[in-house]
Amino acid sequence: MVLVDLRSDTLTRPTPGMRTAMAAAEVGDDVYGEDPTVNALEEQVAGLFGHEAAVFVPSGTMGNQICLRLVVPPAGELLCDADAHVVTYEHGGAAQHGGIQSRTVAGGLLTAEAVAAELRPEGWGTVPTAAVSVEQTHNRAGGAVHAVAVLQELRDLTAANGIKLHCDGARIWNAHVASGVPLEAYGRLFDSLSVCLSKGLGAPVGSVIVTSAALAAEARVLRKRLGGGMRQAGILAAAGLFAVDHQLERLAEDHARAATLGAQLGVTPQTNIVPLTVPDARVFAAAAREQGVLLGVVGPTRVRMVLHLDVDDVGVRHAADVLRSLLDELLADHRG
Detail the DSSP E strand segments found in the chain.
Answer: 4-5, 53-57, 77-81, 101-105, 129-135, 164-169, 192-196, 207-211, 273-277, 293-294, 296-299, 302-306
Cα–Cα distance, 188 to 205 (Å, whole number):
26
Neighbouring-strand partners of residue 56: 208
My answer on whether 58 and 181 are in the same domain is yes
Instruction: Answer whether residue 314 is part of any domain.
Output: yes
pTM of the predicted model as reported, rounded to 2 decimal places: 0.95
Assign residue 267 the CATH number of its domain. 3.90.1150.10
Cα–Cα distance, 63 to 125 (Å, whole number):
31
- Listed as ranges, residues in the chain with pLDDT below 70 are 1, 331, 333-336
Task: State residue 7's pLDDT score.
Answer: 97
Question: Which residue range is the domain that position 277 belongs to?
Answer: 250-335
Cα–Cα distance, 165 to 146 (Å, whole number):
14
Task: State residue 123's pLDDT score.
Answer: 82
My answer on whether 310 and 214 are in the same domain is no
My answer on whether 266 and 242 are in the same domain is no
**What is the spatial order of strands in the sheet that 296-299 belongs to?**
273-277, 302-306, 296-299
At residue 118, φ and ψ (nearest 5 deg) are -110, -10
Choose one of 224, 246, 268: the last residue of a domain. Answer: 246
Task: State residue 335's pLDDT score.
Answer: 54
Choose one of 226, 246, 266: the last residue of a domain. Answer: 246
Task: State residue 107's pLDDT score.
Answer: 75
